Amino acid sequence: MGEVVVRTTDLVKQYGEGEASVRALNGVSCEIFDGEYLSIVGPSGSGKSTFFNMIGGLDRPSEGSVFINSVDIAQLTPKELAFLRCHTIGYIFQTFNLITVRTALENVTLPMLFAGTSPDEADEKGMKLLDLVGLGHRYHHRPSELSGGQQQRVAIARALANSPAIILADEPTGNLDLKTGQEIIDLLRKLNQEQGVTVIAATHDHKMLGVSDRIFHISDGKLDRVETQTPATH
Amino acid sequence: MRASDVRNTDPPFWVAWHQARASIRVRFWRQAITAAGVALGIAFFSSMQVLQAAEGKGADAAAVSRNQWLVATSLVMCLVGITNSMLMSVTERFREIGTMKCLGASDTFVVKVYFLESLQLGLLGSVVGSVFGAGLMAMATRAMGQPAPPSAVGAVMGFGTVLGLVLTVVAAIFPAIQAARMPAAAALRVEV
Ligand SMILES: Nc1ncnc2c1ncn2[C@@H]1O[C@H](COP(=O)(O)OP(=O)(O)OP(=O)(O)O)[C@@H](O)[C@H]1O
Ligand SMILES: [Mg+2]
């Protein structure tokens, strides 16, 4: 396996104060390697989304640290954090989270414009990415005109915009039917194998576990067990 | 990644401009209602100002104090109305702000988009509101035989426009700054 891309040390996240406080993460230390396909599973409320937010630089840990490519992200200024999100990580959400007022192509090109790519180059690469996810012909449609599965494909194309090292997905198939979910899983697996992008996905979906290199089992905010497997190929 | 690798992450001005335009175009009716809220507030305020200017000349003490009361009330209503419209239209979009941050938007970019959007809405609402409010009241006072001086009506229109514009932008910018500074996870979670 490759280099370590994400490392956490004694990660703790506590929400709230005093009696009402919840320890959503309670000392998680782990290493995630370049190019792997990692699934995070656990019962509802076990802390998967919280973990996702921590390693994605979307929220600050209460204790412990997150290192991405050996950089402690707590040390970054807001501007540097924006740079990290723009260049290093692609995010995929259960609820797709496309920018509703922009077209599919504009959603895909926006991160490139943040990265300083010229508009022509961004459009060209955006069309290539939409073709890659099978939606080249729908580039001028807005999210409200696309099905859930199609929206998630656009979100995947958008996550790939700046050729990130890591794709972080929080229940990417959670709002999709079985068949569409399978297509999204296959697409992520394909990107992982062909482009070498590290995929980290929180999921309840058993089909997703089948294609994973490793599985983190989380319960009650702790990393219970790490399962290594030879993924099914198809 | 090293800190030295970080270049200026803000994209050219037109990227924010296009985002603001798209937001107004696509949410046209929602935005029209927001602009109408601004226009109504300013129209009420402007009309009271014109009324005061018309009666100012020969008014007795009681009328003067009644007019001052009306102007103060109209200012408060206009403040509350505009702030409410803009707060609603920004806070209902915290999730969009969180998403943009995930794509690499800097805090400044987010604020810039909402500044440009509120500038356009505010300009439209304030011009329409002050012209209609002041204009209609000017006609009404003339019909009542006690016309407001045209210079006063012009001044009210100018002042109303500036007031509406400033209020609109300020009321939009503060929640936008607040949302931009939140951790992205918190902005994404907000449901209105
Ligand atoms: N913003 C918050 N404020 C307070 N408590 C929170 C917040 N976010 C999460 N929690 C709590 O932290 C715990 C872990 O939540 P988290 O969302 O990480 O679970 P999850 O594993 O993603 O669950 P699910 O599978 O249902 O998505 C839960 O007990 C939840 O109630
Ligand atoms: Mg979750």
Distance A97 CA to ligand 2 centre (A): 15
Interface contact B107-A78, CB threshold 8 A: yes
- CA-based nearest residue in chain A for residue B24: A101
Q: Is residue B8 part of a domain?
A: no
pLDDT of residue B64: 80
Pocket test for ligand 1, best of A11, A12, A13, A15 (most atoms within 8 A of CB): A15
Q: What is the pLDDT of residue A214?
A: 95
- Among A69, A85, A102, the residue with its CB nearest the CB of B102 is A85
CA B189/CA A100 separation, integer angstroms: 17
Structure tokens at B79: 């403040």
Give one DSSP letter per residue of B91-153, joined into a string: HTTHHHHHHHHHTT--HHHHHHHHHHHHHHHHHHHHHHHHHHHHHHHHHHHHHTT-PPPHHHH
ipTM of the complex: 0.91
What's residue A207's pLDDT?
A: 85
Domains and CATH numbers, chain A: 36-47+77-228 (3.40.50.300)
Query: What pLDDT is recorded for position A234?
Result: 52
The answer to whether position B4 is within a domain reads no
Q: How many domains does chain B divide into?
A: 1
Does the beta-carbon distance from B104 to A114 stay under 8 Å? yes
Closest CB to A102: pick one of B8, B22, B104: B22
Q: What is the pTM of this model?
A: 0.90
Q: Is the CB of residue A85 less than 8 Å away from at least one CB of chain B?
A: yes
- Domain assignment present for B2: no
CB contact under 8 A, A111 and B103: yes
What are the tokens at A152? Answer: 């998630």
**Which atom of ligand 1 is nearest the CA belonging to A52?**
18
Q: Is residue B171 included in any domain, yes or no?
A: yes
Of the listed ligands, the closest to the CA of B191 is: 1
Note whether residue B83 is domain-resident.
yes
Per-residue pLDDT of chain A (234 residues; tens, 9 = 90+): 679 999 999 999 999 988 889 999 999 999 999 999 999 999 999 999 999 999 999 999 999 999 999 999 999 999 999 999 999 999 999 999 999 999 999 999 999 999 999 999 999 999 999 999 999 999 999 999 999 999 999 999 999 999 999 999 999 999 999 999 999 999 999 999 999 999 999 998 888 888 999 999 999 999 999 999 887 655
Q: Write down the H helix ranges in B27-60.
A: 28-55
Residue B162, domain member (yes or no): yes
B7, part of any domain: no
Optimal mutation site among A100, A117, A141, A145, interface B, most CBs of chain B within 10 A: A100
Interface contacts A/B by beta carbons within 8 Å: 103
**How many Cβ atoms are within 10 Å of A34's Cβ, its own excluded?**
16
Query: Of B170, B19, B36, which is closest to residue B96 (Cα–Cα)?
Result: B19
Residue B57: predicted pLDDT: 61
What is the number of the ligand 1 atom nearest to the C-alpha of A204? 25
Is A39's C-beta closer than 6 angstroms to any atom of ligand 1?
A: no
Say if ligand 1 is within 6 A of residue A43 CB: no
Distance A90 CA to ligand 1 centre (A): 22
Residue B34 placed within a domain: yes
Are the Cβ atoms of A83 and B109 closer than 8 angstroms?
no
Buried b (16+ CB within 10 A) or exposed e, B169-189: bebbbbbbbebbebbbbebbb
Find out whether the beta carbon of A203 lies less than 6 Å from any atom of ligand 1.
Answer: no
Provide the residue range defining the domain that includes B144. Answer: 13-185
State if residue A221 touches ligand 1 by the CB under 6 angstroms criterion. no
Could you say which DSSP state residue A61 is in?
A: -
**Ranges under pLDDT 50 in chain B:** none
Quote the pLDDT of residue A130: 96
Q: Which own/partner pairs from A137-141 qualify as long-range (CB within 8 Å, at least 24 positions apart)? A: A138/A104, A139/A103, A139/A104, A139/A105, A140/A103, A140/A104, A140/A105, A141/A103, A141/A104
User: Are residues B103 and A158, on separate chains, in Cβ contact within 8 Å?
Assistant: yes
